[in-house]
Amino acid sequence: MKSPIALFAALFAAFLLSACAAPALRGTGDLGIVIERASGSLAVVDTSARAILGRVEGLGDLSHASAVYGRDGRHVYVFGRDGGLTKVDLLEQKIVKRIIQAGNSIGGAVSQDGRLVVAQNYEPGGIKVFDAGTLELLADIPAAFGDGGRFSKVVGLADVPGNRFAYALFDAGEIWVVDLDEPRAPKVTKFRDIGSQPYDGLVTPDGRYYIAGLFGEDGLALVDLWRPEQGARKILSGYGKGQEKLPVFKMPHLRGWAVAGRRAYLPAIGKHEVLVVDTETWQEVGRIPVKGQPVFVMARPDGRQIWVNFAFPDYGQVQVIDALEQKVTQTLAPGKAVLHMEFTPRGENVWISARDDNRVVVYDTASFATLAELPAPSPSGIFFTSRAGRIGF
Amino acid sequence: MMNIKTIFGQTLAALFCLPCLHIPAAWAGDEGDPAPARARELVRMVRQDCGSCHGLTLKGGLGPPLLPETLRDKPLESLRYTVLLGRPGTPMPPWNAFMTEAEADWIVRQLVQGFPAESR
């Protein structure tokens, strides 16, 4: 007859074995990725532990890469300059599938129902629609304009409710909204003459308004997606009238949560200013002077703060605008060549990439104390899984 | 910011001292090539900062490709002035505040030959 001690030892051994065989279960709500642009890799990060969990390599040319999450918050789709679309499993820390879908790609979006992933491409200009599970090509929609023989670079792709996607045509000055309810039979609505050289776009957090920033003129183009029959209209027209534009050494991005309360905060082109717009009247209600040409203007999830980073040569600093005071209240120096910022899901921390210092700095957004510095080769975009549940991310 | 002054300075200097013309501060080498440390900075600037529009591999993005096959038939002088002064009507900005004419010329020659990789 076995002694109780032997039985216990056997059970304990069995427990140890099972613990080795299966990875510990965990959720993905506090996970994310940091793009390491020069090495074609990404770091899988844990925002609770403020640590890098591991690396996934072999993602190709990741200069200007961006990423969107599947609705499971476990799989992330990474779009690279080389036209690569890579589906990565964060828990397994490995590539599930990688395809080269274009010559030059800039980003993408996932449909409301999570079944489709759409890539926006510069070369060949247009969008491509894929099955989010298998990456099978379902539709190819070239951005043909003019007499139909030219194809525009596509910018500002955003998922909007109803399995639709809105995007802008840089070379054509158009906004297109495609309905992919039947992915193999896309229905495109075109808004023409929306303004010169749209460079990026955003959708408001409620999914109602699509806004494209214009490089070729002062102003932005707005489409009310609830009332598309009204067409596109220009907002903030001539915000720089009569003033010489400063050179823009990096295109601003309209991505990110730039809407706080009933105000939208937008980068001015060729000005060291953030424009403040009332989102009910779409009239300018203020301008906030900042250190340089804004690139990302991102509201903390609660809307109390708006964080701004800058183009070359002012990209060693980040400024924080207080929403109540409507002015800059903090200037931080996270490192050389700050490229991106990402808030933790409820905004108590922000992660900032400093490309030329090869590190990611984590700040407390209340005290502005540095909480961690994580080494990463040439870090650029930072993307947390909380994006999975948001419209337009 | 420095460059306009530098050009003025050089012009002034040239009036009094012709041999000084081609010897700005961060400059060395018989062939007019930047000193190695400055060359590394310029290579990084082109790969990373020009790369934000033209791509890290310079195959193009919102801006056109800067590969030898796309630049070879264009006059060096017009390429140099595109770098220094930008291209009105396009997003290409002027870079003359951050480099001298000779440095822009060196960058253009490297681009046409096939741009060096960053040394890490």
Each residue's pLDDT, cut to its tens digit, for chain A (393 residues) gives 456 666 666 655 555 555 555 668 999 999 999 999 889 999 999 999 999 999 999 999 888 889 999 999 999 999 998 899 999 999 999 999 999 999 999 899 999 999 999 999 999 999 999 999 999 999 999 999 999 899 999 999 999 999 999 999 999 999 999 999 999 999 999 999 999 999 999 999 999 999 999 999 999 999 999 999 999 999 999 887 777 889 999 999 987 668 888 999 999 999 999 999 999 999 999 999 999 999 999 999 999 999 999 999 999 999 999 999 999 999 999 999 999 999 999 999 999 999 999 999 999 999 999 999 999 999 999 999 999 999 999
At A97, which helix (H) or strand (E)? strand A94-100
Check if A61 contacts B (Cβ < 8 Å): yes
Structure tokens at A54: 């591991």
pLDDT at B20 > cutoff 70: no
| Closest listed residue to residue A305, CA positions, set A352, A275, A271, A261 | A261
Residue A150 is assigned to a structural domain of this protein: yes
Give a yes or no: residue A119 inside a domain.
yes
Tell me whether residues A64 and B98 touch, CB distance under 8 A. Answer: no
In chain B, what residues touch A37 (CB-CB under 8 Å)? 56
Pick from A313, A377, A305, A392: nearest CA to A341: A305
**CA–CA separation, A180 and B78 (whole Å):** 46
**Mutation to test the A interface, candidates B1, B45, B56, most A Cβ within 10 Å:** B56
If DSSP codes are grouped into helix, strand and coil, which group holds residue A67?
Answer: strand
What secondary structure, in 3-state letters, does A196-245 show? CCEEEEEECCCCCEEEEEECCCCCEEEEECCCHHHCEEEECCCCCCCCCC
> Domain tally for chain A?
1
- Taking the CA of residue A247 and the nearest CA in chain B, the distance in Å comes to 5
Tokens 């700005």 -> residue: B24
Which of A81, A106, A122 is the closest to B56 by Cβ? A81
Per-residue pLDDT, A195: 96
With a pLDDT cut of 70, the percent of chain B lying above it is 73
Quote the domain boundaries for residue A226. 107-238
Q: What is the pLDDT of residue A283?
A: 95
Residue B11 has pLDDT above 50, yes or no: no
Does position B119 have pLDDT exceeding 90, yes or no?
A: no
Separation between Cα atoms, residue A106 and residue B63, nearest integer Å: 13
Task: Give a yes or no: residue A140 inside a domain.
Answer: yes
* Closest-CA residue to B95 (of B81, B106, B108): B81
pLDDT score for A86: 97
Look at residue B6 in the predicted model and tell me its pLDDT: 46
A64 touches B50 (CB < 8 A): no
Interface of A with B in 161-190 (CB under 8 A): 170
Q: Do B52 and A251 touch (CB under 8 A)?
A: yes
- Determine the residue type at A337: A
Residue type, A389: G
Specify the pLDDT at position A202: 94
Residue A230 lies in a domain: yes
pLDDT for position A24: 85
Q: What is the pLDDT of residue A352?
A: 98
Place of tokens 């040569």: A313
- CATH number of residue A210's parent domain: 2.130.10.10
Spatial strand order of the sheet with A75-79 comes to A66-69, A75-79, A84-89, A94-100
* Inside any domain, residue A191: yes
CB atoms A106 and B61 under 8 Å: yes
| Cα→Cα distances A294→A37, A265, A283, Å | 21, 11, 20
| Domains of chain B in sequence order | 26-113 (1.10.760.10)
**How far away is chain B from the Cα of A273, in angstroms, using its nearest Cα?**
18
Instruction: Specify the pLDDT at position A4.
Output: 60
pTM of the model: 0.88
Interchain contact A123–B (C-beta under 8 A): yes
Local confidence band at B27 (pLDDT 50, 70, 90 cut-offs) = very low
Which residues does chain A have within 8 Å of residue B41's beta carbon, measured at their own beta carbons?
none
- Residue A261: the pLDDT is 84
State whether residue A151 sits within 8 Å of chain B by CB.
Answer: no
- Residue A1: predicted pLDDT: 47
pLDDT, residue B120, reads 57
**Closest C-alpha among A218, A313, A206 to residue A261:** A206
Interface with chain B: mutation pick from A35, A41, A170, A249, highest number of B CBs within 10 Å: A249
Do the domain assignments include residue A261? Answer: no
Among chain B residues, CA nearest to A107: B61
Q: What residues in A contact B98, CB-CB < 8 Å?
A: 313
Q: What's residue B7's pLDDT?
A: 45
CB pairs under 8 A between A and B: 60
Q: Which residue of A has its CA nearest to B96?
A: A247
